[in-house]
Structure 1
Amino acid sequence: MPGFLDSIHITNVLGLVIFLVLWIILCELTHVIVLLWRHEPLIGWAVGPFGLTLMALREPSIISIWLDVLVPAIVSGCVLAIGLFTSLSPITFPGHQLVKVFMIACGVLITSTADLISALRDLRYPLWGDARILRTMQFLRANWSKIHFTSFGHSYLRTHFGSNPAELLQILSL
């Protein structure tokens, strides 16, 4: 395939940036929708370099774990297919079917690899309750995420750990 890169043209740089941001936001919001579908009590959420993380109290079921992997992957693939291979696309690719499959597969891998690893970890080493919350909080503190707690999260931390969120986060960062 000589000259393959010569046949890729960016027609709208701003449109490409907006598309990429919209793609990531839609994939992250899909995680929120899957969690809200579970009707779990929400302890808190965090925004960090790896996206949006939600902390729920209970251990998710196996179906919920796989839905949290598959639904965002499907959304990612659909957004990529619509955004890159229709007339709305800010970038033109060669018309080869293999290019389309490769681009969509790479995009889905980018957005879903961490979800798949997390799901496999949850299936192999299931945690629930306090241990799950502490593991999530420790991971979020390690990657400089900004953690926000719900009112239920404040009361849960007060009753189960005997401290407020600021004290607990300070202890976890030591």
Structure 2
Amino acid sequence: MPDLLGAIHVSNFLGLLLFLVLWIVLCECARVGVMLLRREPLLGWAVSPFGVTALFLYEPSLLTLWLSVLVPACVSTGILAVALLSPFTPITFPAYPVGQWIVFLCAVLLSISGDLIHTLRDLRYPLWGEARVLRTMQALRSSWATIHFTPFGHSYVQDHFGSNPTELLQTM
């Protein structure tokens, strides 16, 4: 296994591009699906270059935190197994299976690294209520996200912060 990266070749660039788009879309759909499993009051949602995020009032349960890591990891594993280990792969790998599995595991870890970091942060520093809302809004504003509030979110921001969501976002 002396030259792992040198032995990887792109055989079909359009197929690789299509695979990457499909991989990102399906992993994001898995993340949104886990978010929709929560039966809690939704303050709003945000669309950013990094995906879709939901603003919830309460701290998620331990099960929800780990599902937000494991479900996208399973989806990513399935997509990568079909696309990279099948005979019709857009990327040609070296003949030895250890190299294939190293690339495979690195791709799965790359796809879930953000979810894993957020889960570990929520486990280490749990927040709820106003602090959770403000932290999430600040992180979304720094990532150029467009935040949309639900009617419940409008009333919550009005009651707890004394302003409407537009004014609150402008002050952040």
The alignment's TM-score, normalised by the length of structure 1, stands at 0.89
Structure 2 partner of 1:37: 37
Alignment partner, residue 138 of structure 1: 138
Which residue is 1:115 aligned to? 115
> Which consecutive unaligned segments of at least 5 residues does structure 2 have?
none
- What is the letter of the counterpart of residue 61 of structure 2? S
Match of 2:25 in 1: 25
The residue matched to 1:117 in structure 2 has which SS?
helix
Kept in 1, the 8 Å contact 2:4–2:99? The answer is no
Matches within 5 A, 1:1-174: 1=1, 4-5=4-5, 7-172=7-172
Point out the more displaced range, 90-99 or 107-116. 90-99
Query: CA offset at residue 72 of structure 1?
Result: 0.9
Q: Distance in 1 between matches of 2:6 and 2:58?
A: 51
Q: Displacement, 1:2?
A: 5.3
- Shift in Å, 1:7: 4.1
User: Over the residues paired in the alignment, what is the CA RMSD in angstroms?
Assistant: 1.8
How many Å separate the matches in 1 of 2:45 and 2:125? 22
Q: Distance in 1 between matches of 2:134 and 2:161?
A: 10
Aligned-pair CA distance for 1:90: 1.6
What are the superposed Cα offsets for residues 41-73 of structure 1, whole Å, 9 maximum, x if unpaired?
Answer: 221222223322221121111111111111111
Number of residue equivalences: 172
Runs ≥4 residues deviating over 6 A: none
Deviation at 1:87, TM superposition (A): 3.1
Distance verdict in 2 for CA 1:130–1:3, change over 3 Å: closer
**Structure 1 SS opposite 2:95:** coil
The 8 Å contact of residues 31 and 68 in structure 2, kept in 1 or not, is answered as yes
Secondary structure of the residue aligned to 2:44 is strand
% same residue? 58
TM-score for the superposition, normalised by structure 2: 0.90
Indicate how the Cα distance of structure 1 residues 108 and 3 shifts in structure 2: closer, same or farther if over 3 A, else same: closer
SS in 2 for 1:54: strand
Change (3 A) 1:2 1:125: closer
Going from structure 1 to structure 2, the CA distance change for 1:9 and 1:60 (only over 3 Å counts) comes to same
Q: Aligned-pair distance for 1:13?
A: 1.2
The AA in structure 1 aligned to 2:77 is: G
